[in-house]
Amino acid sequence: MPIKGQSRRAGTAHGRRIAVIGLGYVGLPVATAFARSGAPVVGYDIDPGRVAELAEGRDRTREVVAADLASANLEFTADATRLSGADFFIVTVPHQSYVERGWKLAKAHLKDGSGIVIDVRALLDRAAKPEGITLWRL
């Protein structure tokens, strides 16, 4: 299934179709930034209530403005099948207990040449965590 706004992907230098898994205070700004760049983005969250409020233009974390939530390149969903149109996955989950779930969601939709980034802050002890991410190219 194509991601909403997919026809605009020709306007991006990287040509990727982005999926952001986890729409909290990290994932939501990442998703909206990619959408502003012209990339088609599907933002996935396991909480249908969170998805509904974002689709209505409301962000309880106050990380992004309503205009960014209304981007034609950005789709919000709690339906994992909508991830199938993506070829680059960014997993930004709040706790290490969710990392495996996010990885499995992305892995189910990986294709040859796909990329995945996992926000490692969820994997590290909060007291000793360095900021950063890890990247695997598949």
Domains of the chain, start order: 6-137 (3.40.50.720)
Q: Which of 105, 108, 102 is nearest to 122 (CA)?
A: 102
* Res 94: pLDDT: 78
pLDDT per residue as tens digits for the range 84-104: 999 999 998 877 778 778 888
% of the chain exceeding 90 in pLDDT: 51
Six-digit token pair at 2?
A: 């194509």
Of residues 80 and 96, which shows the higher confidence score? 80
Average pLDDT, the chain: 81
Read off the pLDDT of residues 47-62 as tens digits, 9 standing for 90 and up.
999 999 999 999 998 9
Is a pLDDT exceeding 70 seen at residue 8? no
Task: Tell me the average pLDDT across 37-43.
Answer: 94
Instruction: Give CB contacts under 8 A, 24+ apart, made by 129-138.
Output: 138/110, 138/112, 138/113, 138/114
Residue 10: the pLDDT is 45
Residue 114's pLDDT band (cuts 50, 70, 90): confident
